[in-house]
Structure 1
Amino acid sequence: MTTSTKEKAEELLQQILSESTPEDEEVLMHLLDGLRDKQTGFHHRYINAALHMTGEFYPDHSIIRIPITPVIHNTIKLPHGGILATIADAAMGELAARSIEPGKNVVTTNLHINYLATTTNKELIAKGSFVNKGRRMLVMECVIEDETGKKLATATATFFVIEPRK
């Protein structure tokens, strides 16, 4: 008899739990909670669910938040630079997407990030805003801080307006 994906997942989960550290269990719970949020419709994208990303969107700016947990740590137990780039892209890209004509999409054509500091605090906060809002291209900027207001990075990006794929 062929083993189903669900059976393989259950077996793997049991193996992981039998060998887990407290940090492994924290990470597993974080990821499972995120997956549950995706299943219930709280998140629409797996990446947002996995990162526990939340957002606030206004006409001229956005605020994206993610908790700092071992899920996003690099090898020296600090938030990974790629995660900072990801939330900067999310803050700017979602704001850009909400500002264009209904039925269109945006894609990132350029992203530049300057890393300024690290943090061991509890939350990453990305604040996106417009630099220039054209009909076909939007230039955005973002500041990433922790919950104390410590500036961790700045980013700029260009987004191109496209027709959705059929």
Structure 2
Amino acid sequence: MSTAKGQIEQLLGAILQESTEEDEEVLFHLLNGLRDKQQGIHRRYINAALHMVGKFEPEVSEVRIPITPVIHNTIKVPHGGIIATIADAAMGGLASRSVPEGYNVVTTNMNVSYIATTKNKELIARGRFVHKGRQTLVMECDIEDETGRKLAIATGSFFVIQRRL
């Protein structure tokens, strides 16, 4: 067994000995995400850790993540940085699918205005285009919970780059 595997087993054992139910819920969530990544369900660790799923159509996108303690801030509601992350995923994912083969996009600017918070079950980010240029794309995004309660609005600018190998 490798040194890292032994250290992981030791750490997991220590964590489980002292764990709360919430600790166990978080660990289960994160390990399931890692398993999904290993099985090819997710390509990126961040998507796997957040259990992020997305639908992308030519003009609109939708990205969803479950609300769990993994994404809570100190007052047990979704962390603002996580809301910004799924907004970026919804807008950037849509933008990247709109550029020619061999190109991709990078976020150059993003603004998030937070409106409300939620203790419900899911965050949903819906992205759309404001402007499609050859080198820059401007996007908008609404972030809601599954009841339709608007939590935030975001705008983002994306720059088209040649894809690196």
1:115-162 Cα deviation digits (max 9, x unpaired):
000000000000000000001100000000000000000000000000
- The 5 Å alignment of 1:64-83 reads 64-83=63-82
SS at match of 2:14: helix
Aligned to 2:159: 160
Q: Distance in 1 between matches of 2:2 and 2:53?
A: 37
Q: CA deviation at 1:105?
A: 1.1
Aligned to 2:111: 112
Structure 1 runs (4+) greater than 2 angstroms displaced? none
Q: CA deviation at 1:76?
A: 0.5
Aligned to 1:45: 44
Q: Distance in 2 between matches of 1:75 and 1:26?
A: 17
Aligned to 1:34: 33
Q: Distance in 2 between matches of 1:3 and 1:137?
A: 47
Aligned to 1:90: 89
Q: Distance in 2 between matches of 1:156 and 1:3?
A: 46
> RMSD of the alignment, in Å?
1.0
1:85-110 Cα deviation digits (max 9, x unpaired):
00000000000000000110100000
1:8-64 Cα deviation digits (max 9, x unpaired):
001000000000000000000000000000000000000000000000010000000
| Residue 59 (structure 2) pairs with residue 63 (structure 1) | no
Q: CA deviation at 1:164?
A: 2.0
Q: CA deviation at 1:163?
A: 1.1
> Given the superposition, is the C-alpha separation of residues 3 and 39 from structure 1 closer, same or farther in structure 2, using an over 3 Å criterion?
closer
Q: Which amino acid aligns with 1:115?
A: Y
Gaps of 5+ in 1: none
Q: Which amino acid aligns with 1:122?
A: K
Aligned to 1:25: 24
Gaps of 5+ in 2: none
SS at match of 2:125: strand
1:55-82 Cα deviation digits (max 9, x unpaired):
0010000000000000000000000000
SS at match of 1:76: coil
Q: CA deviation at 1:165?
A: 2.7
Identity of aligned residues (%): 69
SS at match of 2:76: coil
Q: Distance in 2 between matches of 1:102 and 1:112?
A: 28
